[in-house]
Chain A
Amino acid sequence: MRSACGTVEVAELPGLGSLLLLLAASPILMFAAHAAAHRLLDRAGARPAVHASALVALIAAFVPVCGVAWRLGIFDASQGAATPLCAFAYVAIVYGALAVLYVDVVNIAETSLHMHLLLEIAWSGGVPLADLLERYSADRMIAARLERLTSIGQVRIANGRCSIANRSALYLAGAIDAWRVVLGLPTTPPDAANAPAAVVRPAR
Chain B
Amino acid sequence: MCAVLIDALALFLLCMALHVTVWRIRRPESYRAWLPALVAICGPVAAVIAWLIVPAPVDLAAVLLLHGALAGVYVIGYTLVSGFSPSVELLKLLRRNPEGIPTASLRLPFLAGALTSERLDHLTAAGLVQQNGTRLELGPRGVQMTRLVLMYRHAIGLRDGGGG
- Cβ B53 vs Cβ A3 within 8 A: yes
A2-B52 contact, Cβ under 8 Å, with A38-B156, A50-B156, A162-B94 = yes
Which residues 109-160 of B sit at the A interface, judged by CB distance below 8 A?
Answer: 109-115, 117, 120, 123, 128-129, 131-132, 134-138, 142-143, 145-146, 149-150, 152-153, 155-158, 160
Q: Which residues of A contact B36 (CB under 8 A)?
A: none
Closest to A166 in B: B91
Nearest B residue to A135, CB-CB: B115
A118 touches B66 (CB 8 A): no
Interchain CA distance A120-B164 in the complex, whole Å: 9
Chain B hits for A129, CB < 8 A: 120, 131, 134-136
Whether the pair B56, A6 counts as a contact (CB closer than 8 A) is yes
Verify if B4 is at the interface (C-beta below 8 Å from A). Answer: yes
- By size class, the interface of chain B is 35 or more
Q: A115 to nearest B CB, angstroms?
A: 6
Q: Which residue of chain B has the shortest Cβ distance to A82 in the bound complex?
A: B2
In angstroms, how far is the closest chain A Cβ from the Cβ of B104? 5
Interface assignment of B69: CB less than 8 Å from any CB of chain A: yes
* SS class, residues of chain B in contact with chain A: helix
Chain B residues within an 8 Å CB radius of A188: 84
What secondary structure prevails in chain A residues at the interface with B? helix
Cβ-defined partner of A20 (8 Å) among B65, B110, B113, B164? B65
Which residues in window 112-133 of A have CB below 8 A to B? 113-123, 125-130, 132-133
Q: Name the B residues within 8 Å of A198 (CB-CB).
A: 107, 109
Interface pair A199/B93, CB less than 8 Å apart: yes
A86 touches B2 (CB 8 A): yes
Determine if A87 and B66 form an interchain contact, defined as CB atoms under 8 angstroms apart: no
Most buried by B among A17, A35, A53, A161: A161
A100-B75 Cα distance, complex, nearest whole Å: 12
With contacts A110-B158, A138-B113, A173-B88 known, is A2 near B51, CB below 8 A? yes
Contact A160 B153 (CB under 8 A): no
A169 within 8 Å of B (CB atoms):
yes
Instruction: Decide if A192 touches B103 in the complex (CB within 8 Å).
Output: no
Which residues of the other chain, B, contact A24 by a CB distance below 8 angstroms?
65
Contacting pair A160 B136 (CB below 8 A): no
Interface residues in A89-128 (C-beta closer than 8 Å to B):
89-90, 93-94, 97-98, 100-101, 104-105, 108-111, 113-123, 125-128
Chain A residues with CB below 8 A from B86, complex form: 141-142, 145
Interface string of A47-83 (1 = CB under 8 A from B): 0001001000000000000000000001000000011
Is the pair A111, B152 in contact by a Cβ cutoff of 8 Å?
no
Q: What are 12 residue pairs bridging A and B, where the CB atoms are less than 8 Å apart in the complex?
A: A19-B62, A90-B1, A118-B149, A119-B149, A121-B138, A126-B132, A142-B86, A160-B102, A160-B103, A189-B108, A200-B105, A204-B105
B residues lining the A interface (CB < 8 Å): 1-5, 8, 19-20, 23-24, 27, 51-56, 58-59, 61-62, 65-66, 69-70, 72-73, 76-77, 80-82, 84, 86-115, 117, 120, 123, 128-129, 131-132, 134-138, 142-143, 145-146, 149-150, 152-153, 155-158, 160-164
> Closest 5 A-B residue pairs measured CB to CB?
A97-B69, A136-B115, A189-B110, A163-B100, A161-B100
